[in-house]
Amino acid sequence: METITTENKPDLRQVEAEFRQFVLDGQHPCVMAKSVFKMNHYRLRAYDDISSKDSHSRLLQDLADYLQTCDFSSTKFQTFVAIFPNDSFDDELSFEKALWNALQQLHNLDNADWDNTVSSDPDDAAFSFSLNGKAFYIIGMHPKSSRMARQAPYPAMVFNLHCQFENLRGLGTYQTVRDTIRKNDKKLQGSINPVLEDFGDDSESKQYSGRKVEDSWKCPFHAKHSHA
């Protein structure tokens, strides 16, 4: 991982504008992401370094503040985007390592119980990441991703509330949205992300970094306490 020097640090407004452009102006396949950014139903924050304790502490607090504003029963998608504009990764493996290190450190700092609607075992098909007592489906993005849909202009972690997907299932619209996204992704890149699975079919931990993980891949995350 390389860190951009102070002279080259991008302005936050520029960072947000570039991220919005990446989602809205291109062929980004995720209709939910497009809706979130078009309707401004997102909160975007930038952090100095994905590996620093200060960034982790700030991010955990920002997520707690974000959760205070969320309507967990709403069918309107909302999201939290953590961007690390000063960081740069040479390949998918180095980003994956940094992402899971950051998630581990966030968990270590988190005093809240794991969301009891999901598992804390990253090998469990019912796993979803929990922070501040709420489960999130996390999407890692960076310029060197092999998936075009994740080639954001800067390294980022997108935190989508797990309950939002459950709300879509309750409405009976989840499969339609999912199939539309996969159709768009195939049109964009010729294939869908090979690690994508529905919740409950396989652990979503394999999906977070965006890299096609090996069959032998072992998630490096370890929960402080087991909550099945």
**153 φ, ψ (degrees, to nearest 5):** -65, -20
Tell me how far apart the alpha carbons of residues 157 and 141 are, in angstroms, rounded to a whole number: 6
HEC letters along 45-81: EECCCCCCHHHHHHHHHHHHHHHHCCCCCCCCCCEEE
Task: Give the whole-number percent of the chain exceeding pLDDT 70.
Answer: 81
* CB contact at 8 A, 199 and 165: yes
CB atoms within 10 A of CB 216: 5
Query: Residue 133 region, left (φ>0) first, then alpha (ψ -120 to 50), else beta?
Result: left
Cα dihedral: 210, 215, 217, 222 (round 10): 90
Q: Where are the domains of the chain?
A: 49-149+171-214
The pTM for the full model equals: 0.86
Q: Tens-of-pLDDT digits for all 228 residues of the chain?
A: 444 434 455 688 999 999 999 899 877 877 778 888 888 889 999 999 999 999 999 999 999 999 999 887 777 788 999 999 999 999 999 999 999 999 999 999 999 999 999 999 999 999 999 999 999 999 999 999 988 889 999 999 999 998 876 656 655 665 666 776 677 677 776 776 655 554 445 788 998 999 989 889 999 999 987 544
Any idea which residue has 């970094």 for tokens?
209
